[in-house]
Amino acid sequence: MAPEQLLILGGAGLLAVVIVAIGIWTARSEQDLVEERLGRYEQQEQEYQSFLSGTVDEEEETSSSGSQDRGQALKAIDNILSERGFGKKWRRQLSRADLKLTVAEFAVLHIISMAGFFALGYFVLFSGDLIMSIIAGFVGFFAPRIYVARKISKRLIDFETQLPDTLGLWVNALRSGYSVLQAMEAIAKDAPEPTKTEFERVVREV
């Protein structure tokens, strides 16, 4: 049996299991549900306040702990990837494109894009053609890099277009008695993007 047929059969089987599970869950009659709720109503009402307060505290602690664990895991992965050659390159490119993504998030974006392009090719564009769908997934792997490269190119063109006005602001600020750093701060405050962000970065580094 061809791989695409196995994939389709697997998806159909999973869908059938889900439909059966939903049918079993909804098979309980409304009368049974009402009787069950009435039987537990008084006890639930008595315990509601204490149960709710305890549950809220526990959920908040669990949510906070889970968020911290996920954040630490992503940070650890980001540190590992950033030490690699490609990670350092990605970080520079993300910074130049002014994208607020970590190296780990950018790596995950590659995987999501690849899976999305494969699914689009298999189910929409190529009607189950596995080879063409794999090629589409391969293209999807490079889609984030293409987007970042275009973003960098656009920002560079915009910066060069704004450069004469930026130099004019700088000269006027210096003539007004501002220091070099103060003039840069004024440009970072008044200039449009991307000049604003680039000068803000320079001021922070100084």
- Number of other CB atoms surrounding residue 38 within 10 Å: 9
Mean pLDDT estimate for the chain: 77
For residue 105, pLDDT over 60 is answered with yes
Kindly report the number of other CB atoms within 10 A of residue 90's CB atom: 23
Q: 3-state class of 100 per DSSP?
A: coil
Read off the pLDDT band of 47 (50, 70, 90).
low
Q: With contact defined as beta carbons under 8 Å apart, do 105 and 81 qualify?
A: no
Could you give the CA distance from residue 81 to residue 106 in angstroms, rounded to a whole number? 10
- pLDDT at res. 9: 43
Give the position of tokens 């790596």: 107
| 138 within some domain | yes
Q: Is 186:199 a contact under the CB 8 Å cutoff?
A: no
**pLDDT confidence bin for 95, thresholds 50/70/90:** very high
In this prediction, residue 49 has a pLDDT band, given cuts at 50, 70 and 90, of low
Name the more confident of 44 and 82.
Answer: 82
Q: What is the pLDDT of residue 94?
A: 94
Domain presence at residue 44: no
Query: Is position 29 within any domain?
Result: no
**Does residue 62 fall inside a structural domain?**
yes
In a domain, residue 192? The reply is: yes
Averaged over 139-148, what is the pLDDT? 95
Do the domain assignments include residue 35? no
**N-to-C CA span, the chain:** 65
Look up the pTM and report it.
0.62
Angle of helix 103-120 versus helix 85-96 axis, rounded to 10: 90
Residue with tokens 């190529």: 126
- Which carries the bigger pLDDT value, residue 152 or residue 41? 152
Question: What total of structural domains would you count in the chain?
Answer: 1
- How many whole angstroms separate alpha carbon 143 and alpha carbon 154? 17
**Which domain covers residue 117, as residue numbers?**
55-205
C-alpha–C-alpha distance, residues 19 and 185, integer Å? 62
